[in-house]
Amino acid sequence: METFVNFFENIPTVYRTAILVSGLFIFWMMEGIIPLSKISYKRYKHAALNIFFMLTTVIVNLGFAFFLVRTSEYVAENQVGFLYVVVLPLWLKIIIGLLLMDLISAYLIHWILHKVKWMWKFHIIHHTDTKVDVTTSLRAHPGESVFRFVFTIIAVMVSGAPIGIVMIYQSMSAMLSQFNHANISLPAKLDLLLSYILVSPNMHKVHHHFKQPLTDTNYGNIFSVWDRLFNTFASVDSPEQELVYGLDTHMESREHENIANLLAIPFQKYRPPLNAKFGSEKNSAGKNLS
């Protein structure tokens, strides 16, 4: 187990890149073999747009990398955070570290992005994708990337995660995000079984429905426990038939397929959802919606 953590503690950039690229390639290929829904669109053009936002995320992450490493080194050296409250075996420290990192730097910030109007305007870019596939996982406004990185640093401070666990988390986060965005169809029972532990494709597709209240459910990235615990979980019986991707306020292609407009959305006049008030708590989270 120590060897595993040490590998990620010193993982070369080329290996981290290989993890990201291999995940994209595997799920891209699976989309062609077992698609959840037969989407008619220009896959390469769609991918190119989303890859542009991946590049902006990489730039943001590189800019903040020093602070993340220094924070992780500080909490580990000074034993600051939940992982040091009691002495834990390494395997349990990894599990708790991953859970806390996922709770704060994925679930919590995602929930906040949906509840705080000016932050939501940055997150809109991710939700405007009307053709959700594996590349949608890359689609985030640079402003949102900053928010998420700040919460990653907060997660490290709260958990006390050493850099090895942080790198394990980030690798898992990238792979699971690609997995649950991918337009792939798993056997219903397998998807359901996975969704009790991990965020499965069917579970996350509900989050990309173009109308509230479904948009405001299923915030998890790696672990599904947070949505179930905080009553933000929702499901539909037949995702490929019931769901329409995108946002009801930005359904025109000139708005969600234009990079310049996508970058400008956070600075445009706010458009309230057409069928619900912003941040409405009157949703159907926790229920089976059909």
Parse the chain into domains and list their residue ranges.
Answer: 2-186+256-276
35-44 tens-digit pLDDT: 988 878 899 9
Per-residue pLDDT averaged across 112-124, rounded?
Answer: 97
User: Across the strands, what pairs with 288?
Assistant: 235
Residue 181 and residue 79 in contact, taking contact as beta carbons nearer than 8 Å: no
Q: How far is CA 174 from the centre of its chain?
A: 8
Q: What is the pLDDT of residue 275?
A: 66
Tell me: pLDDT of 238 over 60: no
- Which of 47-51, 246-250, 274-278 has maximum average pLDDT? 47-51
Per-residue pLDDT averaged across 61-83, rounded?
Answer: 95
Tell me: pLDDT of 239 over 70: no
pTM of the model: 0.90
147-184 tens-digit pLDDT: 999 999 999 999 999 999 999 999 999 999 999 999 99
Q: What is the pLDDT of residue 282?
A: 36
Tell me whether residue 208 is exposed, middle or buried, using C-beta atoms within 10 angstroms of its C-beta: 0 to 12, 13 to 18, 19 or more.
Answer: buried
User: Which uninterrupted H or E stretch holds 288?
Assistant: strand 288-289
What letter represents residue 146's amino acid? V
The average confidence (pLDDT) of the chain is: 90
Q: Give the C-alpha separation, 263 to 256, whole Å.
A: 10
